[in-house]
Amino acid sequence: MIGSDNARVTARLMALSVGMLAFALFVMPPLYDAFCEVTGLNGKTGARYEAVPAGVNRERLVTVQFVTSNNKGMPWHFRPGVVSVKVHPGEAMDAVFLADNPTGKTMVGQAIPSVVPFNAAQYFHKTECFCFNQQTLAAGESAELPLRFIVDPDLPASVNTITLSYTLFDVTERASINREFENKNEPEREG
């Protein structure tokens, strides 16, 4: 009798530990991302914004400040077109970022956005952003990278300045691995 009790308890506890492993591997990362998006944790700004907020608040002006940095060995020149703009909440605004690839090879870059203060992150909506995609620049090529954003009229009154930071990563290697992987999966398409 004790033997079967042991088997039952063991099976349950094993299931619990496997469940916790699955929780860590498959639930925590997406849960964390969802949590970040809701709370603006770590200044994450979320994916493309589709809806149009109601009305423009002409009474209020918010400063949006742009900063850029390059990760690790990323040799591109990357800077905002203007360092800051003033914008009415609710109004769509365009900005450009300038990138050029001074090296002799084609490279792929990925910009990662981050916003401070954190409590503004969820009110900063990007309707169009170069950061949604990887950017490929040939040797010596330069590009104007577009951003269109709307500051939500619900932005807390305490926030007057929003700083948007882009960090540019060199993802050339990562992109080529992915391309090879895709090619392997669809070998006959071209030929």
Footprint on this chain of another protein (rule: CB under 8 A)? 2, 5-6, 9-10, 13-14, 16-21, 23-25, 28-29, 32-33, 36, 39-44, 65, 67, 69-75, 77, 83, 102-105, 110, 112, 114-119, 139-140, 158-161, 163, 165, 167, 169-171, 173-174, 177
CB of 183 to another protein, least distance (A): 15
CB nearer another protein, residue 20 or residue 52: 20
Q: How far apart are CA 101 and CA 188, in angstroms?
A: 33
CB of 172 to another protein, least distance (A): 9
CB 153, min distance to another protein, A: 18
Which residue from 112, 122, 113 is spatially nearest to 155, judged by alpha carbons?
122
In whole angstroms, what is the distance from residue 133 CA to residue 39 CA?
Answer: 24
Q: Which is nearer to another protein, 73 or 191 (CB)?
A: 73
Q: Which is nearer to another protein, 25 or 51 (CB)?
A: 25
Rounded-to-integer distance, Cα 101 and Cα 162, Å: 28
- 108 within 8 A of 171, measured Cβ to Cβ: yes
Closest approach, Cβ 90 to another protein, in A, equals: 21
Cβ proximity of 102 and 143 under 8 Å:
no
The C-alpha atoms of residue 83 and residue 66 are separated, in whole angstroms, by 5
Q: Which residue, 54 or 157, has its beta carbon nearer to another protein?
A: 157
CA 183 vs CA 53, 95, 133, 178: distances in Å: 41, 35, 19, 9
